[in-house]
């Protein structure tokens, strides 16, 4: 088994905002990063942030928060397209296979991607951000993006564009065993001037191939040193999946 820890979701570098989380219930909203302004899409395959407004509005209503006054949602995002990746509706994830996604190219049936995000707590918390697992994919297959059939191009952010990168890949996950978590699993803390995987969690996982569990940035997703041990830990959490992005 092979596993990678993959950072996803809107943040201060990509979108200048962090999606909300209730640190008591671990309920959260998944919000992807914006597309580059130069992106050109196959006609009709663009994805807008307006699609995610019902989920954000419902979260705010349930937790008595105002999207703009309390959560500081940047209204300019409503005029932009989003890079919906991973897409938990279609159970796909795309990446650049010669750089960030290089470790995914040779993934086989039964390997996994564990997705995490830096979320903004809606109430007083130990840290400014709550770093947590938000999704898990059990890999079914990995394809080069340019090999994806035209009738399936709508399924992933990398194949919705008119031109795909020569080394872009798309990971397809197993239905019934993969998806967006129904509540996040906190894994991070502020330690040694950076956000890192908590030491107790890092020990339980069997370690990551990154210095001292560093997760504040993730240029290349770090592999789990003991993927089977992580997977047993995850199963013990008995977390369910949402059949969709939110």
Judged against a pLDDT cut of 80, whether residue 170 lies above it is answered with: yes
Calculate what percentage of the chain has a pLDDT beyond 90. 91
> Residue 165: what pLDDT?
86
Q: Which domain holds residue 133?
A: 3-242
> Residue 37: what pLDDT?
78
Question: pLDDT category, 175, cuts 50, 70, 90?
Answer: very high
User: What does the DSSP assignment read for 126-175?
Assistant: SSSSEEEEEEEEEEEEEEEGGGS-GGGGGGSTTTSBSS--TTEEEEEEPT
> Residue 245: what pLDDT?
97
> Residue 99: what pLDDT?
81
Question: pLDDT category, 122, cuts 50, 70, 90?
Answer: very high
What is the number of structural domains in the chain? 1
Mean of pLDDT values over 6-35: 97
> Residue 194: what pLDDT?
94
Strands (DSSP E) contained in the chain are: 3-7, 20-21, 33-34, 82-83, 92-96, 112-121, 130-144, 168-173, 179-186, 188-191, 194-197, 241-242
Question: pLDDT category, 186, cuts 50, 70, 90?
Answer: very high
Judged against a pLDDT cut of 80, whether residue 129 lies above it is answered with: yes
**DSSP tally for the chain: helices H, then strands E:** 3, 12
Judged against a pLDDT cut of 90, whether residue 217 lies above it is answered with: no
pLDDT tens for each residue of 39-70? 899 999 999 999 999 999 999 999 999 999 99
> Residue 100: what pLDDT?
85
Calculate what percentage of the chain has a pLDDT beyond 70. 100
Please provide the average confidence, as pLDDT, over all residues in the chain.
95
H or E segment at 85? none
């Amino acid at each position: 088994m092979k596993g990678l820890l993959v950072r996803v979701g809107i943040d201060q570098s990509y979108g200048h905002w962090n999606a909300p989380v209730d640190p008591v219930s671990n309920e959260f909203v998944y919000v992807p990063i914006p597309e580059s302004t130069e992106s050109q899409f196959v006609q009709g395959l663009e994805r807008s942030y307006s699609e995610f407004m019902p989920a954000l509005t419902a979260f705010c209503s349930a937790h008595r928060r105002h999207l703009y006054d309390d959560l500081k949602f940047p209204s300019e995002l409503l005029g932009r397209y989003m890079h919906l990746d991973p897409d938990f509706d279609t159970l796909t994830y795309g990446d650049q296979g010669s750089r960030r996604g290089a470790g995914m190219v040779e993934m086989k049936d039964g390997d996994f991607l564990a997705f995490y995000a830096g979320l903004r707590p809606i109430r007083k918390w130990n840290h400014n951000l709550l770093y947590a697992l938000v999704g898990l994919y059990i890999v079914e297959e990995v394809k080069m993006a340019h090999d994806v059939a035209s009738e399936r191009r709508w399924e992933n952010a990398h194949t919705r564009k008119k031109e795909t990168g020569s080394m872009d890949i798309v990971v397809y996950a197993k239905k019934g065993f993969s998806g967006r978590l129904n509540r996040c699993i906190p894994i991070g803390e502020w330690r040694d001037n950076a956000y890192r995987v908590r030491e107790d969690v890092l020990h339980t996982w069997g370690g990551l191939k990154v210095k001292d569990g560093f997760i504040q940035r993730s240029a290349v997703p770090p592999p789990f040193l003991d993927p089977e041990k992580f997977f047993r830990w995850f199963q013990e959490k008995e977390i369910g999946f949402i059949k969709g992005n939110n």
